[in-house]
Chains A and B, each alone.
Chain A
Amino acid sequence: MRSECVLGAASDSGQEAPRDTWFLQGKASRRFLIKGSVAGGAVYLVYDQELLGPSDKSQAALQKAGEVVPPAMYQFSQYVCQQTGLQIPQLPAPPKIYFPIRDSWNAGIMTVMSALSVAPSKAREYSKEGWEYVKARTK
């Protein structure tokens, strides 16, 4: 006797779906809602802060983050110290390194260009000196 799988056979016979499938469907939908909320919140945050907008807005957002994040990190570390009782040693201030990239780049470009501009005359001069040296040695 051949047994066939017929869809809807359980509902046709008046039996309800097993309880665990309903529970799993509810769990999956809850999980999807939580994930959707997190992703939607992230997208809304990006839209609200205009992080993907014009460049001046992005620059302002970066500047604001640079002003807000270090005090927030410090307060968070203080809160952790108070709650856990740990004493985090205060690190010395990082050395302020002043390296003007623009000036260095400009100076480098000018040096390279001036070297390239005198390269033919210098090459002629050095080759002439070398030739004179070889002539003097072979005499």
Chain B
Amino acid sequence: MSESELGRKWDRCLADAVVKIGTGFGLGIVFSLTFFKRRMWPLAFGSGMGLGMAYSNCQHDFQAPYLLHGKYVKEQEQ
């Protein structure tokens, strides 16, 4: 992986993390105000979910070149 491609992946990861954490936080605010009586846990839950999703996407993005997709081949009887 070239350094420019690595830099692009890092930029994409950071942007993705910002968007997902912000979206989770925003949804947490909405649900906290509407259904959960202004408790704090929906905000933490939403932010944590966004962070986890961003981490998963980043991990998949960085590991993509090295993933080997194998398949099982039956041994032919001699």
Contacts and interface: CB of A to CB of B under 8 A. Distances in A.
A61 B19 contact: yes
Contact of B34 (A39, A51, A56, A61): A39
Interface in A23-55: 35-36, 38-39, 42-43, 46, 51-52, 54-55
Interface residues of B, number: 24
Interface string B14-42: 01101110011011001100110000000
Contact of A59 (B15, B27, B50): B15
B20 A58 contact: yes
Interface in B23-75: 23-24, 26-27, 30-31, 34-35, 50, 53-54, 57-58, 61
24 contacts: A35-B35, A36-B34, A38-B34, A39-B30, A39-B34, A42-B26, A42-B30, A43-B27, A46-B23, A46-B27, A52-B24, A52-B50, A55-B12, A55-B13, A55-B15, A55-B16, A55-B54, A55-B57, A55-B61, A58-B15, A58-B20, A59-B11, A59-B19, A62-B19
Interface of B: 7, 10-13, 15-16, 18-20, 23-24, 26-27, 30-31, 34-35, 50, 53-54, 57-58, 61
